[in-house]
Every structure is written in structure tokens, then in C-alpha cells.
Chains A and B, each alone.
Chain A
Amino acid sequence: MYQEDRQLVTRMLAGDARAFDAFFASYARRLAAFAARRTAFPAASIEDLVQTTLIKAIRNLHRFRGEAALFTWLCEICRNELINLRRKASRRPEHDDIDELAESDDTLLELRAAETTNPLCALEMAAHRGAIAETLNGLPERYARALEWKYGDGFSVDEIARMLGLTTIAAQSLLARARVAFKQSWPEEQPP
């Protein structure tokens, strides 16, 4: 399982620069999106978070055993970094960033509504994203993860199947059930 991921990591461990390019092109943007969906940190902090996550991944590449998909492994590192950030934030009595700390009390592990800089659509978009996040957080984790990968990160069904260790048909079925579950949980006043 995860043969392609293992091959990519093996090539990177051998110093193959093209493997690094493929790794970065595949995962950096998706990792940033993953983090942004879970925090209210500004872009500069997301940048640091993604950088720290990828550097830790590079340093620990030899520990990747291929027991999970590479992206899942990266998300786990990112999740731990988010937890560390929350702990650090809670230990910072001198912190006076009202915006950032107020938001950091929210859960960092679940999906959250994102900020938007356009004042005209800010409320509407924030409400929509908040509702999406709330609905997904109420679904079984496997459903939420598959929907996030498919519609948030743009992974193909084949890629999702690979990451979940399923056949393509099984992944399609899982996505279909997840979509049904999502539709049933979606607030009636906000029909999708």
C-alpha cells in the first residue's frame, strides 16, 4: 500500500531533486489549505506553519514507513504543530494580539470558518464556511476527510482511494455516502 508515496520518499532520501520538486508541488499548497481551514492565523503565520511542517517532514523522512499516505502523514505533523502553537499561545501572558489570541481559543483540530478580506462578502462567506465546517465536523471522520480531500484539496477519486487504502470503486461509494450524509446534515435554511 502507498507504494508511490514510498517510492517518492525513497527518491528524496537518495537526494533526487526532482522528487523534492514533485513533493513540494503536490503538498505545499494543500498543506496550507489544510492549516487555513483549521486556524484563524494570518497568512504569515500559516506560511511559518507550513514551512515548519515541511522542514520537520524532511528531517524525518526516514521515519515514513508508508503505513499511511504521505499527505496524511504530513497533515499529522501539521496537526501536532497546530497543537504546539495553541499550547504556546496559552502560555503567553504578554501576548497582546487580541485578534489572534481570541481566535486561538477555538479548536485547532477541527475545521473552522476562514477569514475573508472583502468586506462586501465577508459575512456571507464566513457564515457559509462556518456552516460547512460545522456540518463536516458532525460527520464520521472518514466521511469528512474524504469530502475535504475531494472538494477542498482537489484530490482525484483515485488519489483518495490510494490514500485511504481502498479500491477506486470503494472510494466512490464512500464519497457518495459521505455526500448523502453531508446533505442530510446540512441546515435546511441553507440548502446547498
Chain B
Amino acid sequence: MSEWRPDLRDEEDPVRSALELGLRQQPLDAAALARVRESVRAEFDTMHGWRAGSRRWPRWVAAMAATLAGLTVLAALYLFQGEEGPPFGNVVRIERGSLRTARNFFRTHDLGVGADVPSQEAIMSAGTSLIALAGGGLLRVAPGASFEGVGSNEVVLRAGRVFLDFPRGAGRFVLSTSAGTFEHIGTQFEAVVEGGSTRIRVREGAVRMSTPAAAAALMVDAGTEVVVSQAGSVARRSVPTYGPDWAWAESTAPQFEIENRELMDFLGWVARETGRHVEFVDERARDVAGHTLLHGSVRGLAPLAALQQVLSTTSLRYEIHDDVIRVSSAR
């Protein structure tokens, strides 16, 4: 080994300057990193973390924290009652952060679970939030997202990532960004606004897209991603409706209360939340799913983790192959 050891800490070193200028890049801003962190953390919790988390916090601490949070929310709601716009939705869940409305520079307040989300006000999300829309459907909001409700059937996304989920037959709802408008047609889709461009990924159903540059509306079908650049150019490609691309959406799935629900309903929920469909390998499996009533709770579990927990208490097995959850009887 050579004994020659140059001083690598030389601040005037031109090689160092050239290399640092050429190599140091950070393509992701804090909001993007927060989104990635949220998704990866959800995966970590599902794979490794949730068991440890439940060990560390005794139930009475969680109960006290929940009570305290509830009292705080009530106090906040009491203190900040005022002349707000008509509700755009209702807060179902907030995790690891806050949902803040800003009527003006001096008047901001945090929304709590159960609070109405006013329209005509800028709303910033510092955590992951789930909002039940006044006109039906759910809006999932990632950390760093900023948006504003316009009445009860339109949201303007200024920045960040959201996921919209509408049941069949839901009323008209439009998501607007600087790139154009996106109207759901019975669908689940994700929208990301970043640096002037808008990316839409459709998981189910279809989205009708209108941009200032396009002469006619464009239909975006399930399994398709469209990126509208700041300059207005449109790129389209196929994407799977399942897998890591949707990890964030899965991690923010609404809770499914299994108590006294049929296993078949639960399987349908898992399938929809993971972008897959259920196949029964044998008739007995279908029969068991249709006649088994569930008890207990899968609160706090992501859909696939919940599936594993629930099916382990039945005589059924499952395997996942791409977009199929294959359920079979164990015998």
C-alpha cells in the first residue's frame, strides 16, 4: 500500500471542486422525500414494525393519548369556530402530522378527526390524511400536499400527491391542477403535482382529462399513467394497477371494520385496495368465503397484512400472482 497520503480536505482543491459540481445532485425536494418516507415506512410497519410498535406502547398510554387528542380536537373546534365556507368534506383520519387550513396569512388552524373541511380555503397537509368528500368518495392526502376545495365537487391541487377513490355511481367530481382538469368516471386514481407538471395514474375505471392545449377531452383508462408537463406536452404509458407503485395508496387505505362482516366482503376490500382481483381455486373456498362471519379488528394493518391475519384464522389459503389473489381451501 502506498504511503503517499494527500490532504483530501483541501478546500481549494480544484479536482474536488470539479467533482462536487458535477456529481452533487438532489433531485428530490423535502416534500417528495416525505412522500417516499411515508410509503416506505408503511411497508416497514407492515413487514417488521407494527408488532414492535404495539409492544412499546401499553394500551392505557394509547387510550390516554387518544383521549387527550380527542379533547384537543374538541377544544380546537370550539376555539376556532367561525365563518367558514361550506364543507368540502370531513376528516376521517390524520396520521403522523397535521391538516391545516389557511383562510389568510394570520388565520390558520389545524383540523382534527371528524372536523369539516371548509371549501374556499387553502389546506396544507403535513401528515397523511383521509377525507370523506361531501359528494361521496374519499380523498387521501400525502404529506406536503396543498389543495383547496371548490364547493363540494371540485378540488384544486396546488402541489403534492393525492389519491381519489369513488364508489360506483358517485356524483361528478373534478380535480384541477395548473395542467388541466381531471374528472373521474367511477374510478380510483392518483394525482401528483410537482414543479409545474401533473402526473395522473388511473387504477380503476377511467378519468376524463382536459388540458388547455388539447382540442378535445382525453380518456385515461385503468392501468395508464399520463404526465402533463409545464409546457403542456402529454406523455402516456402503461403502469400496473398493483405493486410498489401503489404502496402509498395502500398504506392510506380506509379502515375496514370486520366485525360481523362476511369474509367475501373483506376479500373484496383487500382486492380493491391492492388493485387486484380475487380468484377462488375451488368451490369450497368460495363457499367458505360466502358463509364465514368475521370478528375482531384489523385496525392499523395495511390490506395485505390484514389479509394474512384474517385468513390465518380460517381454513383458507391464499397466494398472490401479479394482479390475482388466489384463494383456496386448505385441504
Number of A-B residue pairs at CB separation under 8 A: 177
Q: Indicate if the CB atoms of A58 and B15 lie closer than 8 Å.
A: no
Q: Indicate if the CB atoms of B25 and A36 lie closer than 8 Å.
A: yes
24 A-B interface contacts by CB (under 8 A): A15-B51, A24-B37, A24-B40, A28-B33, A28-B40, A29-B28, A32-B28, A33-B26, A36-B25, A47-B28, A47-B32, A47-B36, A51-B36, A51-B247, A51-B248, A54-B36, A55-B244, A58-B43, A96-B236, A128-B22, A132-B23, A151-B24, A172-B8, A179-B8
Nearest to A133 among chain B residues (CB) is: B22
- B33 — which chain A residues lie within 8 A by C-beta? 28-29, 32
Q: Indicate if the CB atoms of B15 and A28 lie closer than 8 Å.
A: no
Residue A73 lies at the interface, judged by CB distance under 8 Å to chain B: no
Q: Indicate if the CB atoms of A192 and B15 lie closer than 8 Å.
A: yes
Known: A28-B36, A37-B25, A92-B237. A20 touches B16 (CB 8 A): no
The CA of A32 and the CA of B34, in the complex, are separated in Å by 13
Nearest to B193 among chain A residues (CB) is: A44
The CA of A24 and the CA of B41, in the complex, are separated in Å by 9
The CA of A192 and the CA of B236, in the complex, are separated in Å by 41
User: Which of the four size classes fits the interface of chain B?
Assistant: 35 or more
Residue A138 lies at the interface, judged by CB distance under 8 Å to chain B: no
Residue B199 lies at the interface, judged by CB distance under 8 Å to chain A: yes
Q: Indicate if the CB atoms of B25 and A58 lie closer than 8 Å.
A: no
- B44 — which chain A residues lie within 8 A by C-beta? 12, 20, 58
The CA of A12 and the CA of B51, in the complex, are separated in Å by 12
User: Which of the four size classes fits the interface of chain A?
Assistant: 35 or more
- A172 — which chain B residues lie within 8 A by C-beta? 5-6, 8
Residue B83 lies at the interface, judged by CB distance under 8 Å to chain A: no
Q: Indicate if the CB atoms of A94 and B8 lie closer than 8 Å.
A: no
- Interface positions of A (Cβ within 8 A of B): 12-17, 20, 24, 28-29, 32-33, 35-37, 42-44, 46-48, 50-52, 54-56, 58-59, 61, 92, 94-100, 114, 117, 128-129, 131-133, 147-148, 150-152, 154, 157, 169-170, 172-173, 175-177, 179, 182-183, 186, 191-192
Q: Indicate if the CB atoms of A191 and B14 lie closer than 8 Å.
A: yes
- A179 — which chain B residues lie within 8 A by C-beta? 6, 8, 15
Q: Indicate if the CB atoms of B22 and A61 lie closer than 8 Å.
A: no
Q: Indicate if the CB atoms of A97 and B23 lie closer than 8 Å.
A: no
Q: Is chain B's binding surface mostly helix, strand, loop or mixed?
A: helix
Q: Indicate if the CB atoms of A173 and B21 lie closer than 8 Å.
A: no
Residue B39 lies at the interface, judged by CB distance under 8 Å to chain A: yes
Q: Indicate if the CB atoms of A15 and B48 lie closer than 8 Å.
A: yes
Nearest to A190 among chain B residues (CB) is: B18
Q: Indicate if the CB atoms of A56 and B244 lie closer than 8 Å.
A: yes
Min CB gap B152→A, angstroms: 29
- A24 — which chain B residues lie within 8 A by C-beta? 37, 40-41
The CA of A56 and the CA of B247, in the complex, are separated in Å by 11
Min CB gap B145→A, angstroms: 14
Nearest to B36 among chain A residues (CB) is: A51
Q: Indicate if the CB atoms of B35 and A47 lie closer than 8 Å.
A: yes
Q: Indicate if the CB atoms of B28 and A43 lie closer than 8 Å.
A: yes
Min CB gap A88→B, angstroms: 8
Q: Indicate if the CB atoms of A132 and B22 lie closer than 8 Å.
A: yes
- A132 — which chain B residues lie within 8 A by C-beta? 18-19, 21-23
Residue B80 lies at the interface, judged by CB distance under 8 Å to chain A: no
| Contact partner, B244, options A15, A52, A191, Cβ 8 Å | A52
